[in-house]
Structure 1
């Protein structure tokens, strides 16, 4: 029953996003053929799939709080979260110089290639990255439009979410540039830029739409623990995952010098890993072998298990129906042990 209701709402979220983009395209199509290019780029990204984790947690938070499944505000909030995620993905790909996303060329890579193939003026890379920035910004505008339909209490949580994820992104970029071994900072960045934004805040936004601010403390404790587990799984997938399954290049954290907890712990045990990552001439496979030799991936797996356990305990006494407590436990394991 819980799965059926959630699936139905996620389908409505999907329809809401696509309807908005379709209406925007229709409004701009008569102006000039160039006017629809950023809308089409965003539509292609939305249509390419994705796990829809943030709207799923938002909807679950709402339903667990006793919210009305027919409330259009929860559909708008879920769509806003996914549209924000699309914005961050496009910008992330520019920051990380990533060539593929969900098995397709990233927005900036596609438009860099287009500029080059047509022999346009200026630098192809600069053009492509400019398009990526603008498409990401456009998604932010649409996210704001959608969230404006939610109650004020949910918008307050949304404001916190947006500012902290961007500050967390900066911290991530700065830590990569400094490349200093600081596992404490790595965990803090994972929490701020990913954990809260992926699970904690969406849950609280959903509960806020239902008028249940009292659930915020339990959802925060659950969300931060499970959100960190989610990010650590992401780090492991980047290092050891199959790019055919993840839909993006493997080893990006290595090439971008991302100071993940995985790398931070590993470099505390084997200083040569720094050289493998920062100096040219070393392959990602070499880095992976050294990481395995440190046994740190096993430690990260144990830490993920502890975080999932902590998250499940955080909602053990939360004032929600048992079926939603079980659903949140299932979701915690699903995001922490995914393979893509």
Structure 2
């Protein structure tokens, strides 16, 4: 049986072990402050440890190895910090999108709404849940920084990594804002959809993790340039695959209700492609239904048909293939270790040909 690239070097269980140990320590610290914080610690731990492919730590780790770095528990701990950045982004994203579920479980804001109702507390459950999600997302981002700088990596390695890590966290945050801004303004251009995808997800999913690994290893300018040429198009392809799944994915596999992206009005590359291809009547129907939280299953099916029949789905799949080809060509030429190159090829396939 073929080993998943996410399991190479035993990485996934090692990442989970590092995260579990860190979160256990944080739980103990929170309980010293107040017993009410047990629910905060448990919610963050459940979110971080309850699922996820560990794709970002994998790209960072193999970026490190490809740049000449030597395996250690310390570097695994350092790259595990990316999972806390991911948790922060997803907790906030679910709140902004008013998503009910994540990975088949209640989203964080819904979890705290349920807690409020169960305890019969004052005020509104919705307000409490939203406030809790903002704060827990912020806490996960704060903890990402703490996990990186307490990983055991040397001061020189951390000093090289810090600018990459800081820039990545800025990019994902402003990318989230651009997503909200694009929905509010109704910008339907392919250029804008591509920019949102690039900064909200693409850069911090592949490119920045690779560069973080290269920085930890002390890689030179050629390594950085090669990783950027590989990572950015691959990250964009990853986000486009995610957008396709957000409209056409199976809820049993994605863990989110069917058509959620349509109800949320996300102006993705897929949707922008459809709006560019449709006639005036088709554009009016699609644009008029996007962002309708009451869109029923029949409405979702109708919008799916519009997107598929106008050729937007095929165009997006073609774009995913083109970006993937660009990325793989850059990886083939990268001056990196052959073992790392092979794993990165496999990770690229896992990122863009997934079904969940």
Question: What TM-score, normalized to structure 2?
Answer: 0.91
Matched residue, 2:308:
292
State whether residues 173 and 200 of structure 2, in contact with CA within 8 Å, keep that contact through their aligned partners in structure 1: yes
SS at match of 1:315: helix
User: What does residue 226 of structure 1 align with?
Assistant: 234
Aligned residue pairs, count: 339
Q: Quick one: structure 1 residues 281 and 311, their matched pair in 2 at CA, closer, same or farther if it must change by over 3 Å? A: closer
User: Is 1:269–1:294's contact at 8 Å kept on the other side of the alignment?
Assistant: yes
SS at match of 1:316: helix
Q: Which residue of 2 aligns with 1:62?
A: 64
- Aligned match of 2:255: 247
SS at structure 2 position matched to 1:250: coil
Between 262-271 and 234-243, the greater mean CA deviation after superposition: 262-271
Instruction: Determine the structure 2 residue equivalent to 1:148.
Output: 149
Give 2:121's aligned residue.
120
Give 2:38's aligned residue. 36
TM-superposed CA distance for 1:11, in Å, is 2.3
SS in 2 for 1:69: coil
In the TM superposition, residue 62 of structure 1 has moved relative to its aligned partner by 0.7
Q: CA deviation at 1:30?
A: 4.7
Shift in alpha-carbon separation, 1:66–1:281, aligned structure 2, 3 A: closer
Match of 1:276 in 2: 289
Q: Which residue of 2 aligns with 1:236?
A: 244
State the distance in 2 between where 1:208 and 1:71 align: 17
Check the 8 A contact 2:277/2:311 in 1, yes or no.
no
After TM superposition, the structure 1 = structure 2 runs for residues 186-197 of structure 1, keeping only pairs within 5 Å, are 186-197=193-204
Q: Which runs of structure 2 are paired with 1:32-181 in the superposition (5 Å)? A: 32-70=34-72, 72=74, 74-149=75-150, 150=153, 151-181=158-188
Deviations 1:225-251 (A, max 9, x none): 100000000000000001110112222
User: RMSD of aligned C-alpha atoms?
Assistant: 1.9
Would the aligned equivalents of 1:107 and 1:128 in 2 still touch at CA under 8 Å? Answer: yes
Give the whole-Å Cα distance in 2 for the aligned partners of 1:156 and 1:276. Answer: 42
Alpha-carbon distance in 1 for matches of 2:260, 2:4: 37
Using a 3 Å threshold, how does the CA distance of structure 1 residues 327 and 28 change in structure 2: closer, same or farther? closer
Structure 2 CA distance for partners of 1:2 and 1:15, relative to 1, 3 Å: same
CA contact (8 A) 1:9 1:69 kept: no
Moved more, 273-282 or 255-264: 273-282
Partners of 1:307 and 1:4 lie apart in 2 by: 21
Aligned position for 2:265: 257
> For residues 24 and 85 of structure 1, what CA distance do their matches in structure 2 show?
18
Q: How far has the Cα of 1:29 moved from its partner?
A: 2.7
CA 1:7–1:130 in 2, change beyond 3 Å: closer, same or farther? Answer: farther
**Does the Cα contact within 8 Å between 2:16 and 2:49 map onto a contact in 1?**
no
CA distance in 1, matches of 2:103, 2:289: 28
In the alignment, is residue 217 of structure 1 matched against residue 225 of structure 2?
A: yes
**Unpaired runs of 5+ in structure 1?**
none
Q: Distance in 2 between matches of 1:106 and 1:234?
A: 18
- The range that moved more, 297-306 or 316-325, is 316-325
Aligned residues of 1:276 and 1:286 also touching (Cα < 8 A): no
